[in-house]
Amino acid sequence: MPKPQKKSVLLDTSFLITLFDDSRPHNANAKKYYQYFIENEIAMFISSIVASEYEQKGSIKGILDTNNFISSDFSMIDGIRAGDFSRALSGEYREGTDPRAAVKDDIKLLAQCSNNGMDYIVTDDSSTLAKYTRRLNELNKLKTQVITMNDYDISIFNGGQMALEISLSE
């Protein structure tokens, strides 16, 4: 029987900020997911795009020095896929935003996920990145699933099956 493939996740900037900032509302959930990724040997990728965004808030070097993360650079083929995704999502951007500006980060990250066969993207941005991911899933343009920090729910890793909590009483 073939060995099951390792799962992979791309970490969004908002996830990293939430993970390392105890004052963020979803910090506890971010920590639980991070622990889950480590315990279940889910490969954690950080995009060069995320590194540049995070660096605006604070240094990412300490995070990268942990050696828990794999670097993922944005490539020409990622740029082409991002353009395709942008066309597919045309008209679905936030009101008042320039569609070209919306492509800058979220769509580029999703293109990296698609081109690199990443199973998941984890984010604390449930209004934009999660929306784009789900819409591209509906359009059959993206297989990557989104994980948001609103709740800690590992059923996404188990084909939607949730753990059954039972207490055995005597």
pLDDT digits (tens, 9 = 90+) for 18-71: 999 999 999 999 999 999 999 999 999 999 999 999 999 889 999 999 999 999
Please, are residues 45 and 69 in contact by the beta-carbon 8 Å criterion? yes
**pTM of the complete model:** 0.85
The per-residue b/e assignment along 93-130, b for 16 or more CB within 10 angstroms, e otherwise, is beeeeeeeebbebbbbbbbbbbbbebbbbbbbbeebbb
> Could you give all domains of the chain from N- to C-terminal order, each with its CATH number?
8-158 (3.40.50.1010)
